[in-house]
Amino acid sequence: MLDRILDKYKEYGMEINAKKTKTMLIGRDTKTLTITVGNAVLEQVSKYSYLGHMITEDGATLKE
């Protein structure tokens, strides 16, 4: 699926910045995933701040 997104980005002259892109697996049984964009491995995080809220890998959202 990510390959299809990358193909569309390329069509429009866009690309994903692998240094700024993070991945997170949300659920009870979290695992380490290896997701790549081109030759770059995306960093997997256990929590992420988005629009003033902290999102965690267990699915919780906390207002910062």
pTM: 0.74
Tally of domains in the chain:
1
Length of the chain: 64
Helix or strand holding residue 43 (H, E): strand 43-44
Instruction: Note the pLDDT tens digit of each residue in 2-49.
Output: 889 889 999 999 999 999 999 999 988 778 889 998 889 999 999 999
Of the candidates 34, 36, 37, 43, the residue with the CA atom closest to the CA atom of residue 10:
37
Domain, as residue range, for 22 = 2-63
